Amino acid sequence: MAEARRERVLVGEFGRAHGVRGEVRLKSFTGDPAAIASYNPLQREDGGPVVLVGLRPVAGTHDMFVVRVEGVATREAAEALTRERLYVPRERLQVELDDDEFLQADLVGARVEDGAGKAIGRLTAFHDFGGGDVIEIAPHPSLGRRKPALLPFTKAFVPVVDAAGGRVVVAADLFGDDGDDEPRD
């Protein structure tokens, strides 16, 4: 994993434009979703600053907001922000982690092992499709697979998380031994 990525932590992502006056939807990935505004200025993927000047929740959600962004006053400017990811330098997070806690950013790139300690891949991403966190695992080249596997990020499927050691252990046969990467009839 690139050290530059570890120095910044993903805290949010802009969605679609909202209205005609430059507002945009924002999904917060912070522990307290509304706290994202307290990390101003945020950083774009390219390192440029983003300042949130207004934040109101979207009804029926806990992590989605409609926001105003400094310097964005038109729908077109807000549309240009769609899918833009927002980061905070790690040192500004000021979070105290317990021994069994970690940041997801610390696990991206981690070695994925089976119960016997054999490397089966790398953790490449976390996803939240609405039913809880899911990890994406790219298979180890020695397995002869191309397609990644998705696995629920729960204790039942991922019983060991060693963030300091850069590894996770999964309790599922993700890639099997048949070498067949194609769907079956």
Which three-class secondary structure state does DSSP give residue 104? helix
User: What per-residue confidence (pLDDT) applies to 2?
Assistant: 41
- Dihedral sign for Cα atoms in the order 43, 48, 54, 58: negative
Q: What CA–CA distance (Å, rounded) separates 162 from 168?
A: 6
User: What per-residue confidence (pLDDT) applies to 176?
Assistant: 65
Instruction: Of 71, 70, 5, 13, give the one whose Cα is nearest residue 40.
Output: 70
Q: Pick left, alpha or beta for residue 38 (phi over 0 → left; psi -120 to 50 → alpha; otherwise beta).
A: alpha
Q: Residue 143: phi, psi to the nearest 5?
A: -85, -15
Q: Token pair of 9, please? A: 């932590």
C-alpha 156, offset from chain centre? 21
User: What per-residue confidence (pLDDT) applies to 123?
Assistant: 93
Look up the pTM and report it.
0.66
- Max CA distance (Å), the chain: 56
Q: What CA–CA distance (Å, rounded) separates 39 from 133?
A: 24
Which three-class secondary structure state does DSSP give residue 181? coil
Instruction: Of 113, 114, 107, 116, give the one whose Cα is nearest residue 135.
Output: 107
Q: Token pair of 107, please? A: 């696990």
User: What domains appear along the chain, each with residue ranges and CATH number?
Assistant: 3-91 (2.40.30.60), 104-169 (2.30.30.240)
User: What per-residue confidence (pLDDT) applies to 57?
Assistant: 94
Pairing of strands 149-152, 133-139: antiparallel
User: Tens-digit pLDDT profile for the chain (185 aa)?
Assistant: 344 446 888 899 999 999 999 999 999 988 889 989 999 999 999 999 999 998 999 998 889 999 999 999 999 999 999 999 999 988 787 666 677 778 787 888 899 999 889 999 999 988 877 778 899 999 988 887 788 999 999 999 999 999 888 999 998 777 765 444 444 33
